[in-house]
Amino acid sequence: MLSKPPRCSDCHDDCEYLDEISELRQQVDELSEQVLTDALTGLYNYRHLMWAMNQEIERLHRGGGSFSIIVLDFDDFKLVNDNHGHEFGNQALKTVGTFLQRSLRKLDVPCRFGGEEFVLVLPSTELRDAVQLAERIREGVTHIQLMDGGQRVPLTVSMGVDVYRATERITADMFLDRADQFLLQAKQAGKNRVYYSRMTEPGDGMSADERSALMDGFDESPKN
């Protein structure tokens, strides 16, 4: 008669299965992270973006409040790839991805939407605060030092910003599409700018101290 495998409660510190269980748990954690993150930038991916937005919408409908999103897209990024190579372009995306992570609060959710487009989910954030953050990020990106063969490669981004309030009943996809329309307007208006639902509320610029804090550590350049 075959003996039953030991239960976890029966195991001791020297159990022969502990190392295997620990390794399996680590593999599960790594696979879970890969499912939710973008391999290039390390930011969250589209799947996690939609989950986070739906979670925020559900939270607002239960308890009120608001949250905002920023849709961000590089300007003329095809020229960067064409003139400097796709590897340089990938390094630029990684650098800006790290910059975004360092610019946000721990509760914010930075995601790579696809290609050179990113979405930032900002819980408990009103429109004005989101616009101010977008303006700071927009200006901060222009000061990132990317060098290729001794030549500085400038980057700019356009952004659309929108706020979701508890009184709304649109889906996450509809909200994302609405913010994306503001991004499109920013592109059509000349690029390197922020557009949002009430253009009568301009975002503040970036002070010298804020610029210094945001740009600390971003003077390293990707190499081809």
CA atoms of 150 and 152, how far apart (whole Å): 7
Nearest to 100 by CA among 89, 113, 91, 109: 109
* Catalytic annotation present for 117: no
Strands of 106-156, DSSP E: 109-114, 117-123, 147-148, 151-152
Nearest to 83 by CA among 153, 157, 155: 153
Q: Which of 16, 20, 116, 117 is catalytic?
A: 116
Angle between helices 77-84 and 86-103 (to 10 degrees): 130
DSSP string, 31-46: HHHHHHB-TTT-SB-H
Residues designated catalytic? 116
